[in-house]
Chain A
Amino acid sequence: MNRIQELFKQKKNNILNVYCTAGYPQLNSTVPVMKALQDSGVDMIELGMPYSDPLADGPVIQASSTQALANGMTIATLFEQLRGFRQQIYVPVVLMGYMNPILQYGFERFCQDAADMPIDGLILPDLPEYEFETEYGPIMQRYGLNFIFLVTPETSEERIRRLDSLSTGFLYAVSSSSTTGKDKDMNAVNNYLQKLQDMKLKNPVLVGFGIKDKATFQQACEHANGAIIGTAFIKALENTSDIAGTTKKFITDIKS
């Protein structure tokens, strides 16, 4: 059992997962940002690996990726930064990224290095289930990495069940079919989350996309085990010189 399973065993509700981009705002901010998030009381961290062409992300997260790449972030650099990070970061960490940079790094080598850190799971939005099942899934399993699939309001019930059966750790419920950072109609979102809740899925469900403050976080938590905040936190980091202070304030506002 890794940290994700352990977390959901301990805590069933109001789980706060916060996204940050590796190498943003500065190249060496990665671990300090994660530390600040943990110190502020987040339950889990989604660490984004920057890519030049992030299809599933909105403009704010893409801009942070572009900045991180300009800062010199690479997968190899990220693993150098993370080496030994478990001495101070004990919350579960999932890596989020796109297939192309990982394929260049070498998929198995990537999984091996991620497991060495150790990282707890992977979110790769552009890895579809066919390729997951036939090629890449078994490699992740060999290294004990959870793999988290996304579902959306457009995903059929049959497909939700299928993706839930393939996922380990948790299921990532995209709050509406959209890229990150867009405002959502929360009523439609509620109906969809209610449907997921009623399906009694194998995995815990965390809601992402459109969660930006205390109100949206609480609403999401009514029908799910927790939520993921990305764009709003990246925005908060944009012009800060005080990572710890900014993070503390941002998280406190949500959790208070």
Chain B
Amino acid sequence: MTTTTYQQPNTHGYYGKFGGAFIPEMLHRNVEELRSKYLDIIYDPAFQKEYKALLHDYVGRPSPLYYAKRLSEQYGTQIYLKREDLCHTGSHKLNNALGQILLAERLGKKRIIAETGAGQHGVATATVCALKGVECIVYMGEKDIERQAPNVARMKMLGATVIPAVSGSKTLKDATNEAIRDWINNPVDTHYIIGSVVGPHPYPDMVARFQSIISEEIRWQLKEQTGSELPSHVIACVGGGSNAAGAFYHFLEEPGVQLVAVEASGHGVHSGMSAATTQLGKPGVLHGSKSLVMQTEDGQVVEPHSISAGLDYPGIGPLHANLYDSGRGLFLSATDEDALQAAFNLAKKEGIIPALESSHALAGLEMLSPVTAKKSEAPIPAKAMFTKESTVVVCLSGRGDKDMATYMKAMEGK
């Protein structure tokens, strides 16, 4: 047996009890091709050279690690924001889409498909396809197309075809089903760019590696700014979990770093309108891997709710399910209202309008700060609370432009 670490799955794609590749035979060739080649391709020097150059010149990396002085004063600790919101296209999603388009090119694929919920990953995929002149098809739930019109327009302007997913609940999970079906029906020339650390092995590991640039930068940036490369806390929001996987990655095997994942609890964990998968989910199989899944007693996948379309997913990546199951990660949840408050707070305190997804991570500050000590649905061990000397890194995964309609509605209500 190969040993599993928090960071890397074993040869069959398992992080502890979670992961694997639960796929129909029709996908075997594609997934096996990817599994047998992805590491060699990614770590080829020519690949790394092109990827790093584009991360620098096109994405705009390294993204700043910004010491948030007024936020630090408010919460009585030292807070740094990892500014993924400043990446091209407005979020961390481009790190992965860029890596995968370079990989697809080396696999000789001529056609790209992707799923998207809020549209951020769809925009990132459409962007890299435009960059490489490759056909791009994005599956998006019919309901999400209505809710996220500006991102649909962006994808179209970038030359992508947006196909509505009309099956099931017509949201992200159904868009993912449709993308997988497309891949089954186009087994030779097509690469599927999954946007999160979900899906069959090797996707969770591959996406985590492409997003790991986030924590790679945090380490040296923190060293430059504080003299130590290890923070006390890293906080990130989790839907499927790609920005969290990237922000945690190089700290997973550092037991002194408290990893905090904040899920979206919508109207409240037990309201029936929630997306807090670790609180509500049970082990199951969704979209090709074994993980925690929100489902009925009969094993039918349920529709989650969050004000943030990017966290509105009934599963969670197997890497995160293992962090939850093993206790390595602390899993908190923030309601729609908590996230809105955190967004308005950051805007006023630091002049940064965050994405609704990232606002959930910011809402975690309220619960971990001894100054505010907001009550958390999940118990917080005393040693996880901030002190004045704590070095807290929050992954600000995206910017809030796409959420202005929601923010405007919230302002009218006040």
Contacts and interface: CB of A to CB of B under 8 A. Distances in A.
B168 A150 contact: no
B12 A52 contact: no
Given A154-B187, A177-B185, A99 B26 contact: no
B284 interface: yes
A62 interface: yes
A182 B50 CA distance: 40
B285 interface: yes
Interface string A45-66: 0000001111110110011001
Given A56-B26, A128-B22, A101 B286 contact: no
Interface stretch (B68-76, B233-241, B293-301): B293-301
A98 B180 CA distance: 15
A103 B285 contact: yes
Interface residues of A, number: 42
Contact of B23 (A51, A69, A100, A126): A126
Nearest to B296: A104
Nearest to B12: A130
A63 B167 CA distance: 8
Contacts of A163: 25
A75 interface: yes
B187 A177 contact: yes
Interface in A42-101: 51-56, 58-59, 62-63, 66, 69, 74-76, 98-101
B299 A105 contact: yes
A125 B300 CA distance: 17
Nearest to A151: B25
Given A55-B181, A152-B26, A177-B187, A130 B20 contact: yes
B267 interface: no
B299 A53 contact: no
Contacts of A149: 25
Contacts of A177: 26, 29, 184-185, 187
Contacts of B61: none
B24 A150 contact: yes
Nearest to B297: A104
A167 to B, nearest CB: 11
Q: Residue among B28, B282, B286, B301 with the most chain A CB within 10 A?
A: B28
Contacts of B187: 152, 154, 177
A111 interface: no
Interface residues of B, number: 35
A151 B25 CA distance: 6
Contacts of A76: 298
Interface in A4-21: none
B173 interface: yes
B184 A99 contact: no
Given A154-B28, A154-B29, A126 B22 contact: yes
Contacts of B174: 53
A190 interface: no
A62 B285 CA distance: 18
Nearest to A174: B26
B283 interface: yes
A104 B185 CA distance: 29
Contacts of A154: 26, 28-29, 187-188
B20 A174 contact: no
Given A130-B12, A177-B185, A104 B20 contact: no
B21 A128 contact: yes
B387 interface: no
A179 B181 contact: yes
B23 A128 contact: yes
Contacts of A69: 300
B22 A127 contact: yes
Interface string A171-210: 0001001110010000000000000000000000000000
A150 B26 contact: yes
Nearest to A72: B298
Contacts of B285: 98-100, 103, 126
Interface in B145-188: 167-168, 173-174, 177, 180-181, 184-185, 187-188
Interface string B1-36: 000000000001000000011111110110000000
Contact of A53 (B20, B21, B282, B286): B286
B26 A178 contact: yes
Contacts of A178: 26, 184-185
A62 B23 contact: no
Interface in B204-227: none
Contacts of B297: 104
A182 B185 CA distance: 9
A52 B184 CA distance: 18
Nearest to B187: A177
B288 interface: yes
Contacts of B288: 55, 126
A125 B25 contact: yes
20 contacts: A53-B286, A55-B177, A55-B287, A59-B167, A63-B167, A75-B299, A101-B300, A103-B284, A126-B22, A128-B21, A130-B20, A131-B22, A151-B25, A154-B187, A155-B25, A155-B29, A159-B28, A177-B29, A177-B184, A178-B26
Given A155-B28, A177-B184, 11 more contacts: A62-B167, A76-B298, A99-B284, A100-B301, A102-B299, A125-B24, A126-B285, A177-B26, A178-B185, A179-B181, A179-B184
Those 6 A-B pairs whose CB atoms lie nearest each other, nearest first: A101-B299, A104-B299, A125-B24, A177-B187, A150-B25, A56-B24
